[in-house]
Amino acid sequence: MAGGAHAPAEQRVRLYETLLQTTPDLVYMWDLQHRFTYANAALLAMWGMTWDEAIGKTCLEIGYEPWHAAMHDREIDQVIATRQPVRGDVPFNGTNGHRIYDYLLVPVIGPSGEVEAVAGTTRDVTERKRHEEARRKSEERLAAMVDATSDLVYRTNQDWSEVDIVGGSLLFGRHGSLTPDWLDVLIHPDDRDQVAEAITRARATQTPFSAEHRLRSEDGSWAWVSSRAVPIRPIGGDVTEWFGAATDITARRQHEEHQRLLLNELNHRVKNTLAIVQSLALQTLRGTDDMGLACDRFEARLHALAQAHDVLTRQQWEHAPLGDIVRTAVAPCLLADPERFDIDGPEMQLDPQRALALSMALHELFTNAMKYGALSARPGRVCIHWRAEAVQGRRTLVLSWQERDGPPVTAPAHRGFGSRLIERGLRHDLGGDVALDFNTTGVTCRITAPMPDPGVAA
């Protein structure tokens, strides 16, 4: 060191004094009676006092609130007694307004080894505390949001080799890290390539990841999720991690699948019905000379088909009550002249195919009866009776159509489409037996049809 024997000590005092008087931190010293023996410029300015006004006074005498002064009294005693530092933070209203201070009190050890004073430094940490508080609130809100959401919230490292479920949905039963083979274990085999590609693309372009895929849930079932993750990138740097959320869209997917199946089924039925209409048209028009008559017949058959559909639609296309099928087929005459019909039988349910076939057959019988048979002249009547019988242990429908008191019947020279539709159609569609007889006393038709097991009789 340069200078005389005293120079370094004096120089050091000047150095310390300069540092103490210019630091923005508060620097002070108490004697063993808790009286200030030193206060630097920053502290005096904060108090708004001069050296002479402040030195020699205790905290209470300076004007600290009693609780605050008492707290420091305790701390000073503690430092003296334990020879250990004390640290704390405390709000204070000084000339700078309401601030928060972080303070450190340390013992000053004298030459004899006794504590001779207590020194302190205090720093204004208001800004830091505010930031910390803001950050704590923000983190709390984020955590609450993650807990509140029904989405699965996840984070991944830069290359997606590590994935943590950080909150939200308990699709996997718990939160935590996934095993490194998560892609092979948790993603549906059919969706793996698509997910892997989406990850590669997102990483290459550093843009959000987005995919809809199936995920194995805790109970082993596949759940559909819509997953989206955004890259976290420090300013000017590369992506360090990704944060994402996966929404369970299983219900939506199931609904879409159901819609697709319904549409498919509808398409099938419409095409089938169009083919039936085609068959009706071709067979009604074929070999006919009377175009007007053929058109009337075609319309009537189309109408019968439509009415059978109505009966089925009322029961969601699951089944149709036999009584409704019968009454609908003969409705035009039944409504006007109910006494010309004797309709009787237990309530039974027919599946759609049987219902349609029987509707069309009854329509042909009815049309013939109106034109040539018992319903063409009074007092002709029609009895339609049916019952369920056990034939060779199988529940069987036996339905009879019997015309009475009508004009004498002559059997047609050749059987037309109507007869064919009744005999051939019912035999095929009901898998049973049909006996159509043009008796002189009246047309009879006896239909025997085994019912599917388990019996559909109501």
Partner 1 sequence: MTTTDPAPRVFIVEDESMLVMLLEDLLPTLGYDVAGSAGSVDQALAELAEAEIDLAVVDVNLAGTPSFPVADALRERGVPFLFTTGYGQQGLPDRFADAHVLAKPFRRQDIEVALTRLRSPV
Residue keyed to tokens 């059987």: 415
Residue keyed to tokens 């059997």: 411
Member of 12, 131, 135, 271 binding partner 1 (CB under 8 A): 271
Member of 18, 180, 428, 437 binding partner 1 (CB under 8 A): 428
Half-sphere exposure of 370 (CA within 13 A, CB side): 15
Member of 320, 421, 436, 447 binding partner 1 (CB under 8 A): 421
Q: Are 404 and 381 in contact (CB under 8 A)?
A: yes
Distance CA 362, CA 218 (A): 57
Q: With respect to partner 1, which residue has the nearer C-beta, 404 or 427?
A: 427
The yes or no reply on residue 275 touching partner 1 (CB under 8 A) is: yes
DSSP code at position 191: G
Nearest distance in Å: CB 344, partner 1:
27
Q: Token pair for residue 430?
A: 């009901």
Distance CA 262, CA 8 (A): 99
The yes or no reply on residue 11 touching partner 1 (CB under 8 A) is: no
Half-sphere exposure of 415 (CA within 13 A, CB side): 11
The yes or no reply on residue 158 touching partner 1 (CB under 8 A) is: no
Distance CA 157, CA 382 (A): 83
The yes or no reply on residue 312 touching partner 1 (CB under 8 A) is: no
The yes or no reply on residue 351 touching partner 1 (CB under 8 A) is: yes
Q: Are 223 and 215 in contact (CB under 8 A)?
A: yes
Nearest distance in Å: CB 183, partner 1:
27
In sequence order, which residues have a C-beta less than 8 Å from that of residue 77 and are 6 or more positions away?
Answer: none
What pairs with residue 89 in β-bridges? 102
User: What backbone torsions phi and psi does residue 229 show, to the nearest 5 degrees?
Assistant: -135, 145
Distance CA 213, CA 45 (A): 66
Residue keyed to tokens 């609908």: 328
Q: With respect to partner 1, which residue has the nearer C-beta, 250 or 283?
A: 283
Nearest distance in Å: CB 307, partner 1:
16
Nearest distance in Å: CB 290, partner 1:
20
The yes or no reply on residue 431 touching partner 1 (CB under 8 A) is: yes
Q: With respect to partner 1, which residue has the nearer C-beta, 46 or 356?
A: 356
The yes or no reply on residue 164 touching partner 1 (CB under 8 A) is: no
E strand or H helix at 86, and its extent? strand 86-94
Nearest distance in Å: CB 417, partner 1:
8
Q: With respect to partner 1, which residue has the nearer C-beta, 345 or 352?
A: 352
Member of 18, 179, 207, 267 binding partner 1 (CB under 8 A): 267
Q: Token pair for residue 395?
A: 């529940």
State which of positions 277-306 bind partner 1 (CB under 8 A): 277-280, 282-283, 286
- Number of residues binding to partner 1, judged by CB under 8 A: 30
The yes or no reply on residue 272 touching partner 1 (CB under 8 A) is: yes
Q: With respect to partner 1, which residue has the nearer C-beta, 14 or 303?
A: 303
The contact set with partner 1 (CB under 8 A) reads 264, 267-272, 274-280, 282-283, 286, 351, 353, 357, 360, 420-421, 424-429, 431
